[in-house]
Chains A and B, each alone.
Chain A
Amino acid sequence: MMDNKMIVEGSLQSVDGGFSFLGRLPYYRGLGLSMIEDIQVTVDGEVQPRESVRFAVRGQTYTLDEMETVYDNRWNFGEKATIIVLNGGLAAGDHTITFAVRYRVSYLPFVPTTKDTKELALAA
């Protein structure tokens, strides 16, 4: 659900040492951060290493390993989190971004991974 709304259109930006975009959890209720098992970002066909990904909400930034033991914060329903990838930066222009999230849902008899792919432009 809401799979095609995970990546927020027009949100690609350059940041110190990499780039960022806004991402939403494709789920009807949001989730505590300890239940986000993985966030995988692919840029123009190239999978970015897990260690290079940061997740930020409401002024708090986490590595994916840190998130696994965060019990006092959550990715709220519809909340636009900033997904940061420290890859050294992207060239200006269009990029194909795939954003895949694997999350642990207590009542589901499987662990879903949901992804969205969009063309985003980085301003010069």
Chain B
Amino acid sequence: MSSAIKRGVSLYSYQNETFQGRMSLEDCIRTSAELGAKGIEIIGEQTFWGWPEYGAADADVETWHRLIKQYDCVPVSHDFMLDYKRYKGREMLFAEQVASVKKDIDFGARLGMKYIRALVSISPDVLVAAAPHAEEKGIKILIEVHAPLHFDHPWIIRHAEAFEKSGSDALGFLPDMGMFLFSFPPVWKEKFMRLGVPKTIADYVEKAYEDRVLSEYVILNVQQMGGVGPAIAMAETLRHNAAFEPKRMLDHMGRIHNIHGKFYQMTEDYVEPSIPYDEIIKVLQQGGYQGYICSEYEGNRWIEDAEEPDSVEQVRRQQVMLARLLGEAEVPTIKTAPISVAAE
């Protein structure tokens, strides 16, 4: 049985390779397409040099459309940033922020996207004011619900209420699966230990996370165990991460249109040790979700001090897991070498 849920990749996942110029846009799109992850999400200003300060070149946008067509892919989302601290010493005014969002709506439409992603720090009033323009352009603006925020947080509830009151269906949510962090990620623990956290403290924090102990107690206990510097930082990750429940998405399914398949590590046997994808898929199927889950690999920054990340292999493993959980018969496989330029 195949599922109505579709697979995609946020090209953010390949950042370690694209940063170094080792994978081209074509390498990223072809690799994702070969894995059967036909939905392509980008951070506009990562993929298109110039955006937004001096604009994306027409030739680059033409290349984008050519590659999307050539590899039979679907543009899903342009993740925009809205740098409201662009001016030193003052935040952008309301009208400036709305104008900036409208520019990103236009850019999303130029790329053929269905959605643009708003960062969670943006005020609901700004998004509501931009919604009519989004409707005109056939775009939905999705606010990314990302740890430490979650669907029961007052800030997100304020967005949900503002969206309902606006009456616009151009406003919605893009949940990041990192908010359902049910175990302390092994790659985090290993990095903190490389930074000098004693094993006794690292083991304690990991166990306290399993036991769902309140972050402030964990921080105090680590201090009393003699923890300093990186040990405190390790404990403080509990302030920004928690095992919220996937089922909390169910109240909002009508406005959830895209999903960030965040992951920190995929093991050789296709398991994400810290995020419960089996449960997540069940909830999404129960809620009748029919959009994309886009891989979002974020383990690179946790391992790069010790080894060169292999983003493509990590994405491949997650896509194998997703295909399996979605009941697809075929195992996603890469057919063409994904890296066009050797490491520096």
Contacts and interface: CB of A to CB of B under 8 A. Distances in A.
B46 A28 contact: yes
Interface string A89-116: 0000000000000001111000000000
B121 A76 contact: no
Interface stretch (B85-93, B193-201, B212-220): B85-93
Contact of A73 (B20, B54, B120): B54
A110 to B, nearest CB: 12
Contacts of A2: 15-16, 19, 301, 304
A29 B46 contact: yes
A30 B15 contact: no
A61 B12 CA distance: 29
A92 to B, nearest CB: 24
Interface stretch (B76-84, B159-167, B221-229): B76-84
B53 A79 contact: no
B87 A30 contact: no
Contact of B43 (A9, A29, A34, A69): A29
A114 B64 CA distance: 32
A22 B228 CA distance: 35
Nearest to B85: A106
Interface centre among A3, A68, A78, A79 (most CB of B within 10 A): A78
A72 B53 CA distance: 5
A30 B82 contact: no
A9 B50 contact: no
B20 A35 contact: no
B190 interface: no
Nearest to B121: A107
Contacts of B46: 28-30, 77
Given A28-B12, A78-B18, A106-B121, A34 B45 contact: no
Contacts of B16: 2
Contacts of A54: none
Contacts of A77: 15, 18-19, 45-47, 49
Nearest to B301: A1
Contact of A34 (B19, B49, B88): B88
A31 B53 CA distance: 9
B19 A32 contact: no
Given A77-B18, A106-B82, A71 B304 contact: no
B237 to A, nearest CB: 15
Contact of B88 (A30, A68, A105): A68
Interface centre among B21, B53, B83, B87 (most CB of A within 10 A): B53
B304 A1 contact: yes
Given A71-B53, A73-B53, A107-B119, A9 B85 contact: no
B50 A74 contact: yes
B19 A5 contact: yes
Interface centre among B16, B46, B120 (most CB of A within 10 A): B46
Nearest to B87: A34
Contacts of B50: 74, 76
A1 B15 contact: yes
A107 B149 CA distance: 13
Interface of A: 1-5, 8-9, 24, 28-35, 37, 68-69, 71-74, 76-79, 104-107
Q: Which 5 A-B pairs have the closest CB atoms?
A: A1-B301, A78-B19, A76-B49, A74-B53, A106-B85
9 contacts: A9-B344, A28-B12, A29-B45, A29-B81, A33-B53, A74-B53, A77-B47, A104-B85, A106-B84
